Amino acid sequence: MSVPPSSSTSGAAPASPGALARFGHFQLLRVVGRSAQSVLWLAMEDGQDQELWLLVAARPLPTPAALQQWREIAGRAARTAHPGLADVRALGAEGLLPWLCYVRGESVTLSEMISPSGLPPRETLRGLPQVLQGLGVAHDGALVHGDLQPWSLVRDAQERWSLLGLGLSFQAQAQAELERGSDERQRAVDHDLLSLGLCLHWALCGRPALAEPDIGAAAARLPPRGQESVRLPWREDLRLDEPLRTLVDRATARQLRQRYGNARTFEQALGAWLRGHGGPDLLPLLLDRVRQGGLLPSRPQQTRLLERLDLLAPTARIEQLAEQLIEDESLTLELLRQANQAGMRGSLGEGSGTILTLRRAVALIGTDGVRRATRGLRAWPGQLDADAAQTLQAALHRVRQAGVLARALRPAGYDAELVTVLVLLQSLGLLVLLHHLPSPMQQVRRLMQPGGGEDGEPARAPLGERAAALAVLGFEIDQVGLALLRAWGFDVAALWMARPLPSDALPPRRDRDVDLLRATASCALELVVHEGQPWALQVQGVRRVEQRYGRLLGVDEPSLLRALGELSPRRDLAPEAAGVVDSIPPSLTDSAVPADAAEGRNAPPTSDGLQPPAGVKESGGGLAAALARRQRPVDGDPPGR
C-alpha cells in the first residue's frame, strides 16, 4: 500500500524534481522497504540538505484517541536509549497516519545489502548482538517492535547496527499492553525474535523464506498461527558450519519451545558464535562471572562441615580430612584452585605437576587455609532461584553418585580419591553453567528432550548435547570447564583427563595412565545416567556403556547392573537432593531408546524396581564387591600406578 499524498496546505513547497511525492513537509525520494504494516522511504525535509529514513504506517489509526495513545507509546520508545536502537529524530502524524523519522547519514539497510547469493555470515551477524541487546532492553520496558523487517536493520559507516521502527506498530504494542505479564505480551516478544530469525535466514540465503518478502506474512505462516516450517537449505553455494545452521534454524523452529525464549539468549548465542564458539573472549567473561558470583555455592551442610573440621583437625590424618572435604564440591574445587596457583605450587619445586587430590592440596594449604577457604564460599543457593537451585542440586547429586561408581570402576592400583576428583572436573562445565546461566541451560535441556507433537506438529527427535549447546550457547559445555582449569594452571595431562570422552568417540586403548583415568571417570558419568530407570531402559543403557568401556576397564554387564542397583540406597550421600534428581534430564548425553524398551516389554520389575539378569546372583558387600567379577582384558596386565 502506497503512502497517501500529503494533506498539507497549498502553500507548501513543491516537490523537488527528484522526489516521487510529498508527505507533509517531507519529500519522498524512493521506497526502501514495504510491508503490510509500514513503508520505509528515503526522504528529505523541506529546507534541509540531509537524507532521512522516514517510516510511515501503512494504515491510519481509527480515532484521534488512538493517535494520542500512539504518541505516548512512540514517545516512550524514542526515549529508550541504547546503541542497538536507532535514535528517533522526530515523530508525528499526517492526519491519523503516524510516522517516525531518522537521520540516514551513511547508513544502509540490511535489505539493500543482500545479494541473490546471500551475505557472508560474519558480515551479516557481526553487529546483530548489539541490536538484540537493544531489543531486550525494549522488551524489558514492555515495548515490542511488531514489524521487524530486513529494512528495519541499518548499518552505519562504522559498521554498527541499529533497529528502526520501535514504537510505530500501534497494533502490536496495543496487544502487548493488554497486561504486562500476559501471554499476549510474550507472543509479541516471540514474534519479534521469530522475525529477526527470518531476517537472518533471508540474509544468509539471499532469498526470503517461503518466497514471502514480507517478514510479518512469513511469520504468520509458521506456528503457532500457521503450519509451515523454515530451515536453511543445503546448497552448494551455501556452505555454513553446523553451529551456525543450528543457531539460525532454532530461531525459526516449528516448535515454540525450541526457539529462543528472549532476546538476550539469542544475543548470547550469536555473540558466542562470532567469538568462535567460546574462543578467546569466553574466558574473561567466565572469570568475571565467577569472581562476582563464586564458582559454585557451598552445600547447605557447610556449618556441620566446619564443626567436623574443628573436631578432626587437631588429631586427624590428612586422609581423614580429605574424606570430609570431598563431600563439598565447591570447597573441593576452591582448594584445588588455590593449590594449583603458580605461587603456591611453585613451593613444591619444578616438575611437581598439577595437584589433583585433596590430600596434597590440604598438605600444601594447611588446615587454617582450609577453614579460610570454607568460610569464603558463597552460601547456598547463591544467586539462584528455587527452581534453578533444585536443578543444580540434582546435578551435584548425580556427580556424587558417579564418584562412587568411579571408585568401584577403577582398575587395581589407581587412587580412589583421584578418580572421584576427575569425575567432578569432567562435570565442571555443566555445574558452572547451571549456576551462572540457568535459563540458557534450561533451554539446552529442552532441546535434548524429544518433542511431543503438540498442536498437531510432528514429533521431533532430541538434539545431542553438542548440537543443543551450540544452538543456545554458541560453544560446547566442556569448553567452560577447560577454560577455567587453564586459568587455574592445570597442565596438559590434567586437562586431558578433565575432559569427558565424547559420546561419538571410542575410548582409547590401555596404553597410558592418563587415558585409563579419563575413561574411568567418563564411564562412571555415562553409567550413572541409568540409575533408577525402568529395568528395560537400564539394561539397554548399561549394555551401551559395557560395549564402550568393558574391554578397557575390565567390567561386564552384570557387574555394572549390580553396581547401579546398589546406588539407590545410597541417597544418604545427598539427602537434600532426594526427590529432585528427576527434575533434570537423565544426562547431557546422546542416547535414543526404542519404543518397546521405553514401555518395558517382557521385563517385569521386581519389588525393588530391578530385575537381575539371568545367571547373576544377588550379593551384598557394596560396590566394590559388586564389581569383584571384573573381567580382565585379554591383551594386557593391569597397569601400575
CATH of the domain at 73: 3.30.200.20
Strands 153-155 and 51-57: unpaired
pLDDT at 175: 67
Average pLDDT on 580-589 reads: 44
Q: Higher confidence at residue 295 or residue 573?
A: 295
Position 373 pLDDT exceeds 90? no
The pLDDT value given to residue 624? 43
What is the pLDDT at residue 284? 67
The pLDDT of residue 526 is above 90: yes
Residue-level pLDDT at 345 = 59
What is the domain-level CATH number for residue 229? 1.10.510.10
Average per-residue pLDDT for the chain: 80
| Confidence at residue 572, expressed as pLDDT on a 0 to 100 scale | 41
Judging by beta carbons within 10 Å of its beta carbon (0-12, 13-18, 19+), is residue 186 exposed, middle or buried?
middle
Amino acid at 419: V
At a CB cut-off of 8 Å and minimum separation 6, what does 519 contact?
A: 501, 507, 508, 549, 552, 553
Each residue's pLDDT tens digit, 261-301:
899 889 988 887 887 644 445 556 667 778 777 899 987 66
pLDDT score recorded for residue 305: 66
- Does 96 share its domain with 134? no
Which of 29-43, 405-419, 441-455, 611-625 is least confident?
Answer: 611-625
* 390 shares its domain with 419: yes
Distance CA 384, CA 552 (A): 40
The 3-state DSSP class for residue 215 equals helix
Q: Which pTM does this prediction carry?
A: 0.61
258 with 210, same domain: the answer is yes
Tally the domains of the chain. Answer: 3
8 Å CB contact between 131 and 141: no
Instruction: Say if residue 451's pLDDT is above 90.
Output: no
Residues 222, 308: one domain? no
Question: What letters, b where the CB count within 10 A reaches 16 and e where it falls short, cover 605-623?
Answer: eeeeebbeeeeeeeeeeeb
The answer to whether position 630 is within a domain reads no
pLDDT score of 466? 80
Contact at 8 Å (CB) between 335 and 358? Answer: yes
CATH number at residue 511: 1.10.3210.10
292-306, 507-521, 577-591, 601-615: which is most confident: 507-521
Give me the pLDDT at residue 16, please.
Answer: 58
Question: Are residues 22 and 28 in contact, defined by beta-carbon separation less than 8 angstroms?
Answer: yes
pLDDT attached to residue 393:
92
- pLDDT over 70 for what percent of the chain? 76
Q: Which comes out higher in pLDDT, residue 153 or 321?
A: 153
For the stretch 327-338, pLDDT in tens is 889 999 999 999
- Specify the pLDDT at position 272: 78
| Residue 10 identity (one-letter amino acid) | S
Q: Starting at the edge strand that comes first in sequence, how are the strands of the sheet with 51-57 ordered?
A: 21-23, 26-34, 38-45, 51-57, 97-103, 90-94
Q: Give yes or no for a cis peptide into 612 (omega within 30° of 0).
A: no
Rounded CA separation 101/281 (Å): 37
Whether 403 is covered by a domain: the verdict is yes
Q: Looking at the predicted structure, is the pLDDT value of residue 204 above 70?
A: yes
Q: Which domain holds residue 46?
A: 21-103
**Do residues 97 and 125 both lie within one domain?**
no
* Contact yes or no for 60/95 (Cβ under 8 A): yes
Closest by CA to 336, choosing from 360, 309, 301, is: 360
Question: Is 49 in the same domain as 87?
Answer: yes
Closest Cα to residue 202, out of 162, 251, 131, 269? 251
**Can you tell me which residue has the cell 546435578?**
395
Please give the pLDDT value at position 285: 67
In-domain check, residue 595: no
- Of 219, 241, 276, the residue that ends a domain is 276
pLDDT for the residue 265: 86
What's the pLDDT at 525? 96
- 251 with 353, same domain? no
- Specify whether 52 is located in the same domain as 157: no
Residue 49 has pLDDT above 60, yes or no: yes
How many alpha carbons fall within 13 Å on the CB side of residue 348? 16
Which pLDDT score, from 0 to 100, does residue 614 have? 39
pLDDT in tens, 153-192: 999 999 899 999 999 998 788 766 655 556 778 889 999 9
Task: Say yes or no: 359 and 493 in one domain.
Answer: yes
Q: Is the same domain home to 48 and 168?
A: no
Number of Cβ within 10 Å of residue 563's Cβ equals: 25
Establish if 283 belongs to a structural domain.
no
364 and 229 part of one domain: no
CA angle 570, 546, 633 (to 5 degrees): 110
CA distance 318 to 312: 10
Alpha-carbon Rg for the chain in angstroms: 30
Q: Quick one: which of 87, 167, 162 has its CA closest to 131? A: 162
Interhelix angle 263-274/465-472, rounded to 10 degrees, is 110
> Which grid coordinates are listed for 620?
551384598
Beta carbons of 102 and 88 less than 8 angstroms apart:
yes
Range picked from 7-11, 45-49, 367-371, 466-470 for highest mean pLDDT = 45-49
| 26: confidence class by pLDDT, cuts 50, 70, 90 | very high
Indicate whether 127 pLDDT > 50: yes
pLDDT at 74 over 90: yes
Residue 30 forms part of a structural domain: yes
